[in-house]
């Protein structure tokens, strides 16, 4: 599961960030969450609250496999290079209007419209989040031609099962997949509105302010 940034020539598609929370790659509390896609620390994150759990999707099971449990309340991860400044421009994906985001999830966000993964996603940017109060997810994009939060056609879950969510956008079509099944496909075009806010797991940042909207979910293998 990866986050791929696709950009126009002379750029090439590339893996921008990948976080699996496995043993040795994350520390609970004030520790850091390592980005395994880069070796310069530019996309590492800070964990606030939360614990590492051995409860992982069957497909990811193995020695040292961990997920990120944010169900204790008041918990999230912010991609801020261990409480510093983050090289987050990569995640805007505006050079060629192309972006893919994937995440394993267990549990529903504790409120309507709350995110699993976000980069603002309200005024600008993007989110993979709960679609309103429904038992479905949506791939929210701001600034493109299609509806911001299109309704998918399949439930996520049922809980307490793990589900794999993928959102893709290539400048022509926005799609979403649940466990490998396409549940959303809409014609879409235009630039994703860029955001200076940072990528977050289980929460969102708006205009530089981390919101008190903790989703209380359990994610794994975000990319």
CA dist., res. 207 & res. 191, Å (int): 20
Nearest to 76 by CA among 128, 138, 15, 28: 28
* pLDDT tens string 202-221: 999 999 999 998 999 999 99
Confidence of residue 188 (pLDDT cuts 50, 70, 90): very high
Confidence of residue 41 (pLDDT cuts 50, 70, 90): confident
The pTM is what? 0.90
User: Which two tokens mark 123?
Assistant: 């005024």
pLDDT of residue 28: 74
* pLDDT tens string 25-34: 988 766 689 9
Across the chain, which distance is largest between two alpha carbons, in Å?
45
Confidence of residue 3 (pLDDT cuts 50, 70, 90): very low
* pLDDT tens string 118-164: 999 999 999 999 999 888 899 999 999 999 999 888 777 655 689 99
Confidence of residue 116 (pLDDT cuts 50, 70, 90): very high
Nearest to 95 by CA among 25, 191, 163: 191
Q: Give mean pLDDT, residues 87-92.
A: 69
């Amino acid at each position: 599961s990866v986050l791929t940034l696709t950009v126009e020539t002379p750029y090439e598609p590339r893996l921008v960030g990948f976080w699996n929370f496995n043993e040795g790659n994350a520390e609970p509390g004030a520790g850091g969450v390592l980005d395994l896609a880069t070796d310069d620390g530019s996309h590492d994150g800070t964990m606030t609250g939360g614990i590492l759990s051995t409860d992982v999707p069957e497909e990811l099971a193995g020695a040292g496999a961990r997920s990120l449990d944010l169900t204790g309340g008041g918990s999230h991860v912010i991609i801020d290079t261990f409480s510093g400044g983050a090289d987050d421009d990569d995640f805007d994906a505006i050079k060629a209007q192309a972006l893919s985001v994937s995440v394993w999830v267990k549990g529903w966000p504790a409120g309507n419209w709350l995110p699993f993964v976000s980069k603002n996603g309200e005024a600008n940017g993007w989110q993979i989040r709960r679609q309103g109060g429904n038992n479905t997810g949506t791939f929210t994009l701001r600034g493109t031609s299609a509806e911001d939060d299109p309704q998918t056609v399949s439930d996520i879950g049922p809980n307490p099962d793990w589900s794999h969510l993928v959102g893709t956008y290539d400048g022509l079509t926005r799609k979403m997949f649940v466990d490998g099944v396409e549940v959303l496909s809409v014609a879409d075009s235009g630039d994703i509105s860029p955001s200076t806010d940072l990528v977050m797991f289980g929460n969102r940042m708006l205009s530089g302010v981390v919101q008190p909207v903790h989703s209380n979910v359990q994610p794994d293998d975000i990319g």
